[in-house]
Amino acid sequence: MFVNAFNRLKSYLDSQVIGQPALTEGILLALLANGHLLVEGPPGLAKTRAVNALAHGVEGSFHRIQFTPDLLPADLTGTDIYRPETGKFEFQSGPLFHHIILADEINRAPAKVQSALLEAMAEKQITVGRHSYKLPELFLVMATQNPLEQEGTYPLPEAQLDRFLLHLKVDYPDSDTELKILRLTRGEALAQQAETPVRMSQADIFAARQTILQLHMAESLEHYIVQLVMATRHAGNYGAELGRYIAYGASPRATIALERCARAKAWLSGRDFVTPDDVQAVFHNVLRHRLILSYEAEAEGVSTDQVLSELLKRVPIA
């Protein structure tokens, strides 16, 4: 029952965000695996529209935060406000106290603001003064960054990147897809094919997460997941050139994320068991932001995706 509801939600997202099936699937994987996602791509590729469409399809509140260099941590978390009538300070909650957050151009905010978001993503709470405040149980952050403009940006530190479950890359659509987008914006395609959003309850989302954790995963597949992550730390065992290209491998969070996303991928496909194909399908998006390449790799123009593809080829399926 839950699978059908999520598939209807996926169809609705695809009808609103033309030509970006990987983006819409990634959003659902993050929702099901209880994680956050970082989306990188040029402006105008419906990143904001996608998460806005998700907010219409699930029960909960949505807020978009435009990150700028003059943003302060209190602009995210909220702050204590003095009430003269009572003579006391009262906490005024900030935009992080919503269920779905769009952190637009996250790399344009300074480190203090990024740290405030880090605590919210990692602990599902924020701290103001001496008090900590719990965030909603359903809490999803989708952060975006523009790869084209680097002037005036603050690159995310590795510790914060590791908090993201997935790192998706989106690119320009082809000509046929662009024509559909043109018609959609005119309202023609929207009037013909848009479905009524599935207003999915939070209880259904939590129940689906529990179901996913109960999917069958063979012990050999668990070993395969561990070996894939271990290969990023000891890449030299799979080729001297790979050993030269990776400076630092992925943390244990990558192992957990890879297993959770593979389970969610299998469940969305209508299966009650996980296969090696599910692991491989999410491998790049889970590991892309967790590797630190060496200067040698950068000098030779080797990308993280190329290194990950080589690891997939060389690590045997258990």
Residue-wise pLDDT for 233-251, tens only, equals 998 898 888 889 999 999 9
213 falls in which pLDDT band (50, 70, 90)?
very high
pLDDT at residue 296, as a whole number: 92
How many angstroms separate the CA atoms of 162 and 174, rounded? Answer: 32
How many angstroms separate the CA atoms of 157 and 113, rounded? Answer: 12
pLDDT at residue 34, as a whole number: 93
Q: Which has the higher per-residue pLDDT, 28 or 199?
A: 28
- The CATH number for 215-314, chosen from 1.10.8.80, 2.20.25.160, 3.90.79.10, 1.10.8.60, is 1.10.8.80
How many angstroms separate the CA atoms of 280 and 148, rounded? Answer: 28
14, 24 Cβ separation under 8 angstroms: yes
65, 101 Cβ separation under 8 angstroms: yes
257 falls in which pLDDT band (50, 70, 90)?
very high
Domains of the chain: which residue ranges? 2-193, 215-314
59-to-10, 100, 147 alpha-carbon distances in Å? 15, 10, 32
How many angstroms separate the CA atoms of 217 and 272, rounded? Answer: 9
pLDDT at residue 202 is higher than 80? yes
- Domain covering 2-193 assigned CATH 3.90.1150.10 in the classification: no
pLDDT at residue 305, as a whole number: 94
188 falls in which pLDDT band (50, 70, 90)?
low
74, 117 Cβ separation under 8 angstroms: no
Q: Which has the higher per-residue pLDDT, 225 or 113?
A: 225
Nearest one of 199, 186, 181, 182 to 17, comparing CA atoms: 181
Q: Are strands 246-248 and 131-134 parallel, antiparallel or unpaired?
A: unpaired
Q: Please provide the average confidence, as pLDDT, over all residues in the chain.
A: 87
pLDDT at residue 215 is higher than 90? yes
3-class state of residue 128 by DSSP: strand
Residue that the structure tokens 């469940």 belong to = 267
Q: Is the dihedral of CA 105, 110, 113, 117 positive or negative?
A: positive
Residues 6 or more apart whose Cβ sits within 8 Å of residue 266: 215, 272, 273, 274, 275, 278
230-259 burial string, b = 16+ CB within 10 Å, else e?
A: ebbeebeebeeebebbbeebbbebbbbbbb
Lowest mean pLDDT among 27-31, 121-125, 220-224: 121-125
pLDDT at residue 150, as a whole number: 61
31, 141 Cβ separation under 8 angstroms: no
